A = this chain, B = another copy of it.
Amino acid sequence: MIFSSALIETAVNEFARLPGIGKKTALRLVLHLLKQDSSQVQQFSDAMARMREQIKFCSHCHNVSDDEICSICASHTRNDDLVCVVESIRDVMAIENTQQYNGRYHVLGGIISPIDGVGPEQLNIHTLVERVREKGITEVIMALSPTIEGDTTIYYLSKKLKDLPVKITTIARGIAFGGELEYADEMTLARSIFNRLPLENYVQQK
């Protein structure tokens, strides 16, 4: 691409470094910004810089936060007995969006994956064990991806927690609502039969 302006070229290149944004899309976005008021572009630019500069990670659960302790950990209406272990803050948001979970979270910051060079020591595991030991948590829900890495991480965590008086559960695997049986993989289908529920449960969930 040939640019007649270095300012535009720099802006396009910066956009194009974001995931899923190619040069053409980057150019479209830059030309859009060019048409906006200077104050609006300044606002856009400030929001990004300020976000990265001022964001904190909650000292309890490692979720992103504007303050030392995140709004979920700071809430007084949430259930202190339950901790849901997730890989990333994106998962916290996904679960929060369901508006069905009222416990606390613990963000691992990844999952154990030797192939990517991620071992247990890089994850927020030590603080989880400490929380369980000191805060009288009664149930830890493992909400990790159903992959080999996810299962490895669940296994590792369950060993770390096995001497503590805490119940360990995993989120249910099964056929998604609206999913069709014939398209489900065999593993999921087999597990969903194995973990079948009484009809009363099904009606409640609906």
Measuring CB to CB, which residues of chain A are less than 8 angstroms from any residue of chain B?
1-8, 10-11, 13-14, 17-21, 25, 27-34, 36, 38, 41-55, 63-66, 70-72, 88-90, 92-93, 96-97, 99
Contact = CB atoms under 8 A, between A and B. Distances in A.
Contact of A8 (B8, B13, B55): B55
Given A45-B48, A47-B14, A48-B11, A63 B4 contact: yes
26 contacts: A1-B97, A2-B93, A2-B96, A2-B97, A4-B70, A4-B71, A5-B55, A5-B66, A6-B66, A8-B55, A10-B47, A10-B50, A11-B51, A14-B44, A14-B47, A18-B32, A19-B29, A20-B28, A21-B29, A27-B90, A27-B93, A31-B90, A38-B52, A41-B49, A45-B45, A46-B49
A182 to B, nearest CB: 28
B53 A38 contact: yes
Contacts of A65: 4-5
Given A32-B18, A93-B1, A93-B27, A7 B51 contact: yes
Contacts of A38: 52-53
B31 A72 contact: no
Contacts of A48: 11, 14, 33, 41, 44-45, 48
Contacts of A51: 7-8, 10-11, 30, 33-34, 41
